[in-house]
């Protein structure tokens, strides 16, 4: 059974995979709860690469984007990385316009195999 409310842990270890479950914009409290959940996965001692399947999302609030930036920095501190996959066209465009596509690793194929950064 899934121990999380806002994400599904697909696999753990050096390359951990999660799928965001909710497709609607989150209120501030839900964004905070989601961030706690993905931070919990990222803080796992073995997690170096966190692959986040965002295919259920159509919108990305500025608050959620801020939490993703903090997550990327958190992973980078332990020589890890965040990979966003399955982004819809609109979210990819926002990341392109804001130049955050250079900050995040973005992968079209959610099923691609990733190697953890060592």
For 74-111, the pLDDT digits (tens) are 999 989 999 999 999 999 999 999 999 999 999 986 56
Rounded alpha-carbon distances, angstroms, from residue 82 to 1, 16, 28, 29, 65 = 25, 10, 22, 23, 13
Report how many domains make up the chain: 1
Strands, E assignment, 22-73: 49-53
Cα 26 from Cα 47, distance rounded (Å) = 26
Residue 114 predicted with pLDDT over 70: no
Within a domain: 21: yes
CB–CB of 80/50 below 8 Å?
Answer: yes
CB–CB of 69/37 below 8 Å?
Answer: no
Cα 82 from Cα 107, distance rounded (Å) = 11
CATH number for position 11? 3.30.750.24
- Strand order in 7-11's β-sheet? 7-11, 15-20, 49-53, 81-85, 105-107
Range of the domain at 101: 7-107
Within a domain: 16: yes
pTM: 0.87
Per-residue pLDDT at 112: 64
Residue 116 predicted with pLDDT over 60: no
Within a domain: 77: yes
């Amino acid at each position: 059974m899934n121990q999380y409310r806002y994400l599904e842990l697909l696999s753990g270890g050096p390359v951990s995979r999660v799928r965001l479950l909710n497709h609607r914009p989150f209120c501030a409290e839900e964004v905070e709860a989601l961030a706690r959940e993905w931070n919990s996965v990222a803080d796992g001692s073995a997690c170096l690469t966190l692959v986040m399947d965002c295919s259920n999302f159509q919108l990305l609030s500025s608050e959620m984007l801020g939490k993703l930036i903090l997550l990327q920095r958190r992973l980078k501190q332990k020589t890890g990385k965040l990979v966003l996959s399955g982004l819809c066209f609109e979210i990819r465009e926002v990341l392109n316009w804001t130049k955050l596509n250079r900050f995040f690793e973005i992968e079209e194929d959610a099923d691609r195999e990733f190697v953890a950064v060592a």
